[in-house]
Structure 1
Amino acid sequence: MGSFSLDGRIALVTGGGRGIGAGIAQSLARAGANVLVADYTDQLAEEGASAITALGRRSMAIKVDVRKPDSVEAMINAVEKEFGRLDIAVNNAGVVSLGGVQELTFEQWNEVIDVNLRGVFLSCQAEIKLMRKAKFGRIINSSSIAGKVGFPNLAHYSASKFGVIGFTNAIAKEVAKDGITVNALCPGIVGTGMWRGETGLSGLWADPGETEEASWARHQEIFLPQGVAQTPEDMGQMVVYMAVAEHVTGQALAVDGGFSL
């Protein structure tokens, strides 16, 4: 294989039906991988899988609830039955909500921790079991710049994403001699649901009388040395790199336009 070729590799992306996950899945496919798309509804999974087959790669849509061990196990069993192995796993499924620490509900805390952190644990556990059979694997867990720097109104989200980084670093050391690397991807400011719209951060943090669009533009300038938001395709480029890199493991790599410098 060429240095950045994934020809013949079998990849799985959770939360791969839209947004960052879709960008990652399609980047893997363009690099040559067959990409299985898992998401929490049949529709999202099928939309993601259709985008992969349109790129000329094999795919499969899998409905999964990453909070539930039985659902995650069924996902990995489906991968093994269909393809016999799993080379690359991108654990990208995640949720976000906004609220100050005193306003956060017990249910909001649990939902974010359950999906973002427990979901990564359960997925990694099942994936490593399959990858150890082949003595090869690349696991990429989605964290965030909010896993490196705390954001107001996102304490629960930051807690989950800081947790992903610590978990990733720890298990990378456990599987380091099994041919498996484990890294975390830390997206910066991407124009998806967490940021955009009146209920996103750019809406919440708008100055009096400022439109959401103007707030979005202003916050790109405030936070990003490059002054430009990142894209799902930017995240896909980093994932492709982590999928081919043999000696990069236990890292939390940011794609954030210089925010975390």
Structure 2
Amino acid sequence: MREIPSLEFSLSGKVALVTGAGRGIGLGIAVSLARAGADLVVADFDSNVAEEAAMQIRALGHRAVALRVDVGQADSVSAMIDQVAEHFGGLDIAVNNAGVVSLGKVSELSVTEWDRIMNVNARGVFLCCQAELKLMRARQSGRIINIASIAGKVGFPDLAHYSASKFAVIGFTNAFAKEVAREGITVNALCPGIVGTGMWRGEEGLSGRWRLPGETEAQSWERHQSSLLPQGEAQTVEDMGQLAVYLACAPHVTGQAIAVDGGFSL
């Protein structure tokens, strides 16, 4: 019987790339990976927030490089990967988190808005995975984590386009994992539930847009947590970071779409 190595949650000496890392879930995951020992490439469409995130990582005692990237553009993604190779010589962990969201009924949704959501959320994951694979194949090792959503498991009204993009991420992840399963590379999807970041909070967030008559945004936020989540409370960016660290360490978990959603999608 072959010996099964114990799983150690240490990423010391590893290089991780996180897209959409300037704020919210992406930033939470980047910080969690750094706390586990990884050096970081923090990429974001906004170069200013990317640099602010990199400063947080450096304050933890790890190397960090900030890059601007538009994940929907192949040239931008290719340039990002070239920079990863130049700064760190390779890539061990990739978290493809960059994403966008909007509300709109199918009957009213424009083709332009459909394409915008799909371009970032689905095409962006494809382009990043394709580029990251080149560096990981060179080492015959790697961990790719694509950020999907519970909306990629369960549809929500007014979010058909967003749900479609996240269902696509889950399907792509499962198929891609099987393509590279014999190359030492794992590919998984992390599906956040209700997290109190910009997607949900504020007047333009979902809890602001889905208010009942006479309800404040804060009251709507509390109602959605209580009504949608069996645990009755929202998840945190730290919750997402914990699963990302696990998936970055686990050699035999691949092709999965794992939800961190307080039991919503059971």
The answer as to 2:17 corresponding to 1:7 is no
Contact 2:7 2:250 in 1 (8 A): no
Q: Are residue 21 (structure 1) and residue 26 (structure 2) matched? A: yes
User: Over residues 50-79 of structure 1, what are the superposed CA-to-partner deviations in whole Å (9 max), with x where a residue is unaligned?
Assistant: 111011100000111101111100100111
Match of 2:118 in 1: 113
Distance in 2 between the 1:51 and 1:104 partners?
39
1:12-91 aligned at under 5 Å gives the runs 12-91=17-96
Q: Normalising to structure 2: TM-score of the pair?
A: 0.96
Alignment partners' CA distance in 2, 1:17 and 1:193: 12
- What does the per-residue CA deviation read over 1:172-226, in whole Å, with 9 as the maximum and x for residues that have no partner? 0000011000000000000112211222221222111011110110110001111
Structure 1 partner of 2:3: none
Equivalent residue of 2:75, what SS?
A: helix
Structure 2 counterpart of 1:22, one-letter code: L
Q: 2:192 aligns with which of 173, 179, 187?
A: 187
Between Structure 1 and Structure 2, how many residues are aligned? Answer: 261
Taking the TM superposition and a 5 Å limit, the aligned residue runs for 1:1-261 are: 3-261=8-266
- Give the Cα separation in 2 of the matches to 1:59 and 1:236: 17
Instruction: Letter of the 2:231 partner, please give it.
Output: Q
- The alignment's C-alpha RMSD in Å is 1.0
Deviations 1:220-258 (A, max 9, x none): 000111111001111000000000001000000000011
- Alpha-carbon distance in 2 for matches of 1:93, 1:38: 9
> C-alpha separation between the residues in 2 aligned to 1:19 and 1:242?
19
Residue identity opposite 2:22 in structure 1: G
SS in 2 for 1:35: strand
Aligned to 1:38, the other structure's residue is in SS state strand
Residues in 1 aligned to 2:224 and 2:66: alpha-carbon distance in whole angstroms: 36
SS in 1 for 2:166: helix
- Determine the C-alpha separation between the residues in 1 that align with 2:138 and 2:106: 44
Corresponding residue SS for 1:246: coil
Compare 102-111 and 88-97 and name the one that shifted more: 102-111
Name the SS for the 1:172 alignment partner.
helix
Asked if the contact 2:7–2:249 (Cα under 8 Å) also holds between the matched residues in 1, the reply is no
Deviates more, 1:5-14 or 1:188-197: 188-197
Q: Secondary structure at the match of 2:207?
A: helix
The CA distance in 2 between the partners of 1:173 and 1:52, in whole Å, is 33
SS of the aligned residue for 1:157 comes to: helix
Q: Higher mean Cα deviation, 103-112 or 179-188?
A: 103-112
1:2 Cα offset (Å): 6.8
Whichever residue aligns with residue 55 of structure 1, its letter is L
* AA aligned opposite 1:45: A
Deviation at 1:47, TM superposition (A): 1.1
Aligned AA for 1:91?
A: N
Q: Give me the whole-angstrom Cα distance separating, in 2, the residues matched to 1:82 and 1:60.
A: 8
SS in 1 for 2:11: coil
